[in-house]
Amino acid sequence: MRALRLPAGFEWGISTSAFQIEGASAADGRTPSVWDTFCAQPGRIAGGDRPDPGCDHYHRWKDDVDLLAGLGVDSYRFSVSWSRVLAGGRAANPRGFAFYDRLVDALLAAGIEPVVNLFHWDLPQDLQDAGGWRSRDTAYVFAEYAEKLATALADRVTRWSTMNEPFEHFGLGHVLGFHAPGQNLTGVAAFSVAHHLLLAHGLGVRAVRAGGARQVGLINSYAPVRPVNGGGDGAAACALDAIQNRLFTDPVLLGEYPAGLDAFEMDPASKPVRSGDLEIIAAPLDFLGVNYYNVLAVSAPEPADPLPFRLAELPGFDRTASGWPVVPDGMRETLVMLKDRYRDALPPLYVTETGAAYDEKPDADGFCDDFERVAFLASHVEAIAEAVASGVDVRGAMLWSLLDNFEWAEGFSQRFGLVHVDFQTAQRTPKASYYWYRDLIRGVTP
Ligand code: FCB
């Protein structure tokens, strides 16, 4: 790997999410989330995998803080299980709060900055039963949750994110139905989900600040879109770009919905949008989190296709075990695209996720040589440094993920961890990538 040229103080971190690592789904008063419900439905999760106990982080969190300390990260981004801290999404559960309280204290004692994400797709099932994200009320209940959490932790947690990847939760969960809550919405119904997620973000920003949070941001996923047949597929590429890269960013940074949503029969002038909503959604942010995994190739749709684009294969690149093409330059392209597109409206950036699934296992000596992941991470970190060199204000990078974990509808079949987890015993074994990242952090941070 080339010597990295990054500013002094560039932050190195790592990310997880509650539902993917905690297990303990019924412990200490936790109530079900939409993902618990979804996982219990036959055929939803590859191999019929069940998330609990999985990594069992709820009981093994001390081991995981030790792993973080050994890695030497500056920051650790995790999400809070809304269903654990508020029964049914509303009623305070002191034992749930106590878990995150302990975790935050242990991280601080280990010299690691906790970065709290409030929502990583695990809506309390009771709120889903009351309408979920189709209901405007959910955005207001989210704000109450956000304020309660901030009131409990903002004396020790500086940096907060309202939510992670609302686009995936909207698209995979509410339009394509591959993720919880498994819906197939179209038109105004689909648009209402997107709008209420955005409204929840905006109300959440206010609420965590009211609870004492000093820095607040939003974490989105981005993917450069490439038309496979050049100009002929340009309209399809614009449509996918509008929904993947702009739907959850233009309203937040520019205070307006992007053009092109009519291709999805979504109308920003329709009923869910009330006067004043866009001002709430565009509340100033302290940072934008960027999750990048790959680029998307697209061609024009066939006449019977339900969407105004068709995803295509991107030839000529290696692929991870998820089948995703490995395109490190897409990271640089994404960061530069954000700077060019939003200019003065763009807050400082953190890369909040990048990583890869590969299926390596520990050998007889217990060593797990995930050289492909090391190559993936090294090339993507270099691409971040290139973006910084060309003037993009990126303050840090958080890798996905500390542990192999429950990869949503793929169950345990896709391993993204720098630490291998044996899901029979929950035993953790650092992989070569863990030691690679530890050395990188030691060498680059002042
Ligand atoms: C992102 C999600 C994260 C994980 C990675 C692989 O889209 O935010 O939870 O599933 O992909």
Identify whether 6 is part of a domain.
no
- Decide if 203 contacts 139 (C-beta within 8 A): yes
Taking 90 as the threshold, does the pLDDT of residue 229 lie above it? no
In terms of Cα–Cα distance, which of 144, 61, 74 is closest to 115? 74
Identify the weakest region by mean pLDDT among 60-74, 152-166, 306-320, 382-396: 306-320
Alpha helices (H) in 211-259, listed in sequence order: 234-241, 250-254
Burial class of residue 275, CB neighbours in 10 A (0-12, 13-18, 19+): exposed
Identify whether 84 is part of a domain.
yes
User: How far, in Å, is the centroid of ligand 1 from the Cα of 270?
Assistant: 31
Look up residue 328 and give its two tokens.
Answer: 């490190």
Percent of the chain predicted with pLDDT > 70: 99
Give the dihedral sign, CA 352/3/370/315.
positive
pLDDT of residue 444: 56
Percent of the chain predicted with pLDDT > 90: 93
Identify whether 1 is part of a domain.
no
Pocket test of ligand 1: the residue of 79, 334, 400 to mutate, having most ligand atoms within 8 Å of its CB, is: 400
User: How far, in Å, is the centroid of ligand 1 from the Cα of 153?
Assistant: 25
Angstrom CA distances, 144 to 90, 196, 205, 331, stand at 8, 15, 11, 35
Q: What is the dihedral of CA 103, 214, 195, 126, to 10 degrees?
A: 30
Identify whether 3 is part of a domain.
no
From the CA of 407, give the closest atom in ligand 1. 10
Structure confidence at residue 269 as a pLDDT band (50, 70, 90): confident
Identify the weakest region by mean pLDDT among 157-166, 219-228, 230-239, 349-358: 230-239
Ligand 1 pocket: which residues have CB below 6 Å? 17, 20, 164-165, 168, 221, 291, 353, 400, 407-408, 416
Identify whether 288 is part of a domain.
yes
From the CA of 322, give the closest atom in ligand 1. 6
Taking 80 as the threshold, does the pLDDT of residue 3 lie above it? no
From the CA of 168, give the closest atom in ligand 1. 7
Mean pLDDT across 224-235: 88
Taking 50 as the threshold, does the pLDDT of residue 97 lie above it? yes
Give the residue whose CA is nearest to atom 2 of ligand 1.
165
Return mean pLDDT, the chain. Answer: 96
Segment holding 35, helix H or strand E: helix 34-39
Catalytic residues: 165, 353
Taking 50 as the threshold, does the pLDDT of residue 85 lie above it? yes
Structure confidence at residue 2 as a pLDDT band (50, 70, 90): low
Mean pLDDT across 389-394: 97
Q: Which domain holds residue 261?
A: 11-444
pLDDT of residue 421: 97
User: How far, in Å, is the centroid of ligand 1 from the Cα of 122?
Assistant: 13
Segment holding 215, helix H or strand E: strand 215-221
pLDDT of residue 164: 99
User: How far, in Å, is the centroid of ligand 1 from the Cα of 364?
Assistant: 30
Q: What is the pTM of this model?
A: 0.97
15-47 tens-digit pLDDT: 999 999 999 999 999 999 999 999 999 999 999
Structure confidence at residue 424 as a pLDDT band (50, 70, 90): very high
Residue with tokens 């965590």: 208
Angstrom CA distances, 31 to 82, 123, 124, 142, 144, stand at 9, 11, 7, 16, 17
130-139 tens-digit pLDDT: 999 999 999 9
Identify whether 5 is part of a domain.
no
Pocket test of ligand 1: the residue of 21, 120, 291 to mutate, having most ligand atoms within 8 Å of its CB, is: 291
pLDDT of residue 162: 99
Identify whether 146 is part of a domain.
yes
Identify whether 91 is part of a domain.
yes
Structurally, how many domains does the chain consist of? 1
User: How far, in Å, is the centroid of ligand 1 from the Cα of 84?
Assistant: 21
Taking 90 as the threshold, does the pLDDT of residue 60 lie above it? yes
- Decide if 220 contacts 291 (C-beta within 8 A): yes
From the CA of 416, give the closest atom in ligand 1. 6
Other Cβ atoms less than 10 A from the Cβ of 422: the count is 12
Pocket test of ligand 1: the residue of 407, 412, 418 to mutate, having most ligand atoms within 8 Å of its CB, is: 407
Give the residue whose CA is nearest to atom 10 of ligand 1.
407
Look up residue 332 and give its two tokens.
Answer: 């640089």
Structure confidence at residue 230 as a pLDDT band (50, 70, 90): confident
Write the CATH number for 307.
Answer: 3.20.20.80
Query: Tell me, what DSSP letter sits at residue 155?
Result: T
HSE-CB of 61 using CA atoms within 13 angstroms: 20
From the CA of 408, give the closest atom in ligand 1. 10
Other Cβ atoms less than 10 A from the Cβ of 205: the count is 26
